[in-house]
Amino acid sequence: MKQLLSLTLILLFVSCQSSKVNLKKLDRANPATVATAVLKSFKKKDLKTLQFLATPQHEIVIKKMILSDEAIKEQHLFTGSQWDKINNWKGKIKEVRFSDDLQTAYAMFFSEENAKDSSEITVVRMNLIKKEWKFDNIISYTQKSFNTLGYIME
């Protein structure tokens, strides 16, 4: 019985560790991998990791959230339609677009099936800072406005 309990605890520990973002191995030059790390951190409510992925301006905001009361975090970060999209995210970035100056990336992680021009698209917006993509915000666009954001790079 003790062996079974020990094995269960080890498996739980390993599974929890594998779902965390490994910042040392993260390819910060790839906006899709950074967006994936951002979404994983949000899903796990891991604000410390999110803070390291953020732009300097948002790093300060996240640091304040870390120090705030749990109820405030829940109210401001982990509720509403955007939280529902993040929480239901299946682990795939659907498309990445770049601004004309290649300094902003938009990683789409939510879109409605059979999207029309007025359908909602939700993205992780990132800024390129010193050759690394940094999390700026999670925002929604219509399909039509998302299509005008810039370039798709393969």
> Are 145 and 67 a contacting pair, CB within 8 Å?
no
Look at the pTM and tell me if it is higher than 0.75. yes
Confidence category of residue 114, pLDDT binned at 50, 70, 90: confident
| Nearest C-alpha neighbor of 132 from the set 27, 35, 49, 25 | 27
Does residue 5 have a pLDDT over 60? no
pLDDT band at 72 (very low <50, low <70, confident <90, very high): confident
CA within 13 Å, CB half, 121: 25
C-alpha 115/C-alpha 134 separation (Å) is: 28
Domains of the chain: 29-152 (3.10.450)
Taking the C-alpha atoms of residue 94 and residue 108, their distance in angstroms, rounded to an integer, is 5
Dump pLDDT digits (tens) for 31-69.
Answer: 999 999 999 999 999 999 999 999 999 999 999 999 988
Q: Residue 13 belongs to what H/E stretch?
A: helix 2-18
CB proximity list for 111: less than 8 A, separation 6 or greater: 94, 119, 120, 121, 122, 143
Angle CA(20)–CA(121)–CA(109) in degrees, nearest 5?
A: 20
Q: Dihedral of CA 28/82/95/58: which sign?
A: negative
pLDDT at 15 over 60: no
Burial 65-76, CB ≥16 within 10 A → b, else e: beeeeeeebeee
Q: State pLDDT tens for residues 95-106.
A: 999 999 999 999
